[in-house]
Amino acid sequence: MRLLVVEDDPDLGRQLTDALSNNGYAVDLAADGEEGLGDTEPYDAAVLDLGLPKMDGVRVLERWRAAGKDMPVLILTARDRWSEKVAGFDAGADDYLTKPFYTEELLARLRALLRRAAGHASAALECGDLRVDTRAARASVDGEPIKLTAHEYRVLSYMMHHQGRVVPRTELVEHIYDQDFDRDSNTIEVFIGRLRRKIGSNRILTERGLGYRLIDPKAEKITE
Ligand code: CA
């Protein structure tokens, strides 16, 4: 899953990007409102500070929503600014945190937003006996832990959030790398190959010319 953080405080911005990438997300950081607004990459969620130079967060959010960007947005507000929160929710925010906050709480709220956006109620995503616990960024098959690299986890986590649906390779590329990463869609095939070796070769189907589909091989009905 790929996230955008819009935060002008450089220390907090760095802390947030570090914490989020350590928890299995690809993260881009924008340091002011215009930069945040101008970013046209597809994100799974955004963390948006409301007090921003050049263009304030509420305005950024209004413009995102007007442009049809429907990713979940968590706003960061200063203490004692309850009217900011109201303006944020009216502009289309999904959740908020008041500064200062605990990173753990931000992570938990983001997990909830991401899984709700993908239609899942629980923090542990399951597909048959394949399980991804988004709280610990860990995967297991039939209770046995699977060791994954950061990129393998991102691919699997994205596929688990979108299980059953064909995910085009370009979409995967857009959601597992941050902006600064040298992207090569061929490496996706490598990650998929490694994942198949680790979780079982029949769980990720290649839909020729379309993309990949994560399934529970025991539940899948053969219809043709
Ligand atoms: Ca600020």
221: confidence class by pLDDT, cuts 50, 70, 90:
low
Going from the Cα of 95 to the center of ligand 1, the distance in angstroms, rounded, reads 17
pLDDT at residue 223, as a whole number: 52
**Domain containing residue 208: CATH number:** 1.10.10.10
C-beta atoms surrounding 7 within 10 Å:
24
Same domain, 105 and 134: no
Same domain, 42 and 136: no
Going from the Cα of 63 to the center of ligand 1, the distance in angstroms, rounded, reads 18
Residue 156, both tokens: 């699997």
What residues sit around ligand 1, an ion, with C-beta below 5 angstroms?
A: 8, 49, 51
C-beta atoms surrounding 203 within 10 Å:
22
Going from the Cα of 31 to the center of ligand 1, the distance in angstroms, rounded, reads 9
| Gap between the Cα atoms of 140 and 88, Å rounded | 38
Percent of all residues in the chain with a pLDDT value above 70, rounded to a whole number? 98
Q: What confidence tens digit (pLDDT) does each residue in 138-195 have?
A: 999 999 999 999 999 999 999 999 999 999 999 999 999 988 777 776 789 999 999 9
Mean pLDDT of the 63-79 span: 93
* Cα 93 off chain centre by: 16
Higher pLDDT, 82 or 76: 76
User: Could you list the residue range(s) of the whole structural domain that residue 74 is in?
Assistant: 2-117
Q: Which of 117, 151, 166 is the last residue of a domain?
A: 117
Residue 23, both tokens: 């928890």
Same domain, 21 and 107: yes
Same domain, 85 and 41: yes
**Domain containing residue 80: CATH number:** 3.40.50.2300
Same domain, 89 and 182: no
pTM of the model: 0.85
Same domain, 25 and 54: yes
| Number of domains the chain contains | 2
